[in-house]
Amino acid sequence: MTIQLGQTAPDFVQDSTQGPIHFHSWLGSDWGILFSHPKDFTPVCTTELGAVARLAPEWARRNTKVLGLSVDELKDHNAWEADIAETQGSTVDFPILADADKKVATLYGMIHPEADPKVTVRSVFIIDPNKKIRLTLTYPPSAGRSFDEILRVLDSLQLTDSQKVTTPAEWRAGEEVIIAPSVSDDEARKLFPQGWKALKPYLRLVKLSADHKTPSVP
């Protein structure tokens, strides 16, 4: 199964370090980050889980729940959490799915039938409050994930869902955005009375005024 942007995130029930997770019910009306690992006690993944734990205030600020996944058993997860706290200085306060039967990994298309599953189960999904997939990323086992980038995309999604704008390359919350091409100049004058800078008719940069709600900058 291939997960496509815009489709409904598959629902599931699976055990976790915080009890059984019925995914759609657990997510509720929040945004969600589902990120996966090939196995416990791996060095790169240990640093990643620590990074996600340290970002707890940022996830909360964005009304976002995070959910880890590894294909090892629940007892291994509990021991791994102790290692993460010891080595990364952060307590894992979010659930980690015990996907030993690979039910969720298979449901989300993380495992290619011709590949070693320990290589392919390193994916990230951003899921919106309507349970739609908004981002997918798959990383190699040797490269630790940038959760700063995932936060950046989350900020962009939350902003562009509420305003008729898009965000340029390397954008950070608070910087100039692009007026959506679907917005005419006449409409733009009403939406953005502060004015904008037109580099091309299709590339109009605007600095949002204080009354436009933008995500908090970490």
Give the pairing of strands 31-37 and 123-127.
antiparallel
Cα–Cα dist 105/91, whole Å: 25
How confident is the model at residue 130, as a pLDDT?
97
Going by C-beta distance under 8 Å and a sequence separation of 6 or more, which residues neighbour residue 25?
Answer: none
pLDDT of residue 119 exceeding 70, the answer is no
How confident is the model at residue 210, as a pLDDT?
62
Which is the catalytic residue, given 9, 33, 45, 133? 45
Q: How many CB atoms lie within 10 A of CB 46?
A: 19
What are the structural domains, with CATH classification, of the chain?
Answer: 13-143 (3.40.30.10), 163-218 (3.30.1020.10)
pLDDT tens for 59-81 read 999 999 999 999 888 888 888 89
pLDDT tens for 140-199 read 888 899 999 999 999 999 999 999 999 999 999 999 999 999 999 999 999 999 999 999
Task: Give 107-156 as a DSSP string.
Answer: HTT-S-TTS-HHHH--EEEEE-TTSBEEEEEE--TTS---HHHHHHHHHH
**If pLDDT is split at 50, 70 and 90, which confidence band does 215 have?**
very low
Of the listed ranges 14-18, 95-99, 121-125, 166-170, the one predicted with least confidence: 121-125
45 assigned to active site: yes
Best mean pLDDT range from 82-86, 98-102, 118-122, 200-204: 200-204
Sign of CA dihedral 39, 43, 48, 50: positive
Per the structure block, which two tokens stand in for 61?
């600020």
> Angle at CA 208, nearest 5°, toward 206 and 213?
150
Per the structure block, which two tokens stand in for 79?
């021991």
Going by C-beta distance under 8 Å and a sequence separation of 6 or more, which residues neighbour residue 32?
Answer: 9, 64, 65, 66, 67, 125, 126, 127
Indicate the DSSP class of residue 8: B
